[in-house]
Structures are given as C-alpha cells and as structure tokens.
Amino acid sequence: MPTELVLRPGDASDAAALALVQLEARASAPMPPSVHPESEVRAWLSARLTTDEVWVAEYAGRVAGYARLSDAWLDDLYVAPGDARRGVGSALLDLVKSRRPAGFCLWVFESNAPARAFYARHGLVELERTDGSANEEKAPDLRLAWPGEDPVAFLRGLADEVEEQLEGLLARRAALARALRAATGPC
C-alpha cells in the first residue's frame, strides 16, 4: 500500500532536511549549481523558516519536498530527486495556489526546461526573461506567474507596479537632466 503524502507547515527543525532537498534537487536539475555550500544553505533556510511561510511534503515522516512563500512570491519549490514524478510538486503547487489565491510570481532558470514545462502545465504564464545579471548564478531566468482567481486584477496590479517604477525612473531622469544643465551652465 503506498504511503500517503502529508503536507505540513515547516519549522526550524526542518532546516537541514530542506537544505539537503534543495541541494540534491538543484544538482539533479538542468540548472546552475548552488553558489552556496550546504552549511550556508542550511543557515539561510533556518532563518527563512522564521520569517517566510514554508510547507513541507513528507512520505512516512521523510521530507520529499518543500515550498517557501513570501508575500506574493513562491521563492522555493524543490522536490527530492527520488520523489520526482510522484505528485509532490503538484501537491505543493496546489497548496501554494490555495495560500495565494490572488496570484504569485516566481523565478525559474531558463535552462530548467522540466521545471518550466511543469509550471506551464499548472497554468503559470511567462512575464519576463532576463540575462541573469541580477541573480547570483548569473544565468538567464524567467519570471513566471500564476495570475490567481482574478487574473485581470492580478495582472493590472503588476502593470500598476511597473507604472509606478517607470514614474520614479522618469522623475530621476528629469532631475539628472536638470543637474546636468546646471553643471554645464548656459550655452
């Protein structure tokens, strides 16, 4: 008889097991290796367990995967390689959708085609691609989103955020142009 998958909130005692799942999953996936050793990953996850919402997937008390959420982001979703294709990722992602019904975003490496296909099968959409210059691995990545139960409201909210950022950038540009004119004096 198959063991039932259990999803439960994570706590500080899970840090070592979650770090191991993360490192093993990254090592087996077509993505850049972690730039941090296991001790740093464990310490970082231990700290995140006190601030972020973390859900652990277990089979018979053994950690099979986890999801870590913050605000409107799915920051981590990792499944132990030996538990891949057993529904662990789908169960965790369904849980995340229920915890963030208004929608959420995540980043995935461009090279990680299996993860990209997984997210596409589960209704996530691509919002942007980067050259990777902003991530630690310096590898191209994609911002994906699950637009939630009201996709129009979710996407409008993201568009409003971009509009606010653009207004700020235009104000900075105008201030720099004024400063440049003042520095160069009258022509």
Amino acid of residue 12: A
pLDDT at residue number 163: 83
pLDDT tens-digit map of 157-180: 888 787 888 888 888 898 888 898
What is the average per-residue pLDDT within 120-132?
96
d(CA 119, CA 107): 11
pLDDT at residue number 128: 94
Q: What is the CB neighbour count within 10 angstroms for residue 67?
A: 27
Phi, psi (degrees; rounded to nearest 5) at 2: -70, 145
pTM for this prediction = 0.85
Q: Which helix or strand (DSSP H or E) is residue 66 part of?
A: strand 62-70
Select from 91, 88, 86, 48 the least CA-distant residue to 68. 48
Q: What is the CB neighbour count within 10 angstroms for residue 129?
A: 11
For residue 129, pLDDT over 50 is answered with yes
Q: Pick the more confident residue, 171 or 118.
A: 118
State the number of CA atoms in the 13 A half-sphere of 54 facing the CB: 23
pLDDT at residue number 135: 94
Structure tokens belonging to residue 80: 């132990």
Quickly state the pLDDT bin for 1 (edges 50, 70, 90). very low
For residue 187, pLDDT over 80 is answered with no
Amino acid of residue 173: R
What is the average per-residue pLDDT within 103-111?
97
For residue 75, pLDDT over 50 is answered with yes
pLDDT at residue number 2: 56
Q: What is the CB neighbour count within 10 angstroms for residue 75?
A: 17
d(CA 52, CA 73): 10
What is the average per-residue pLDDT within 1-27?
91
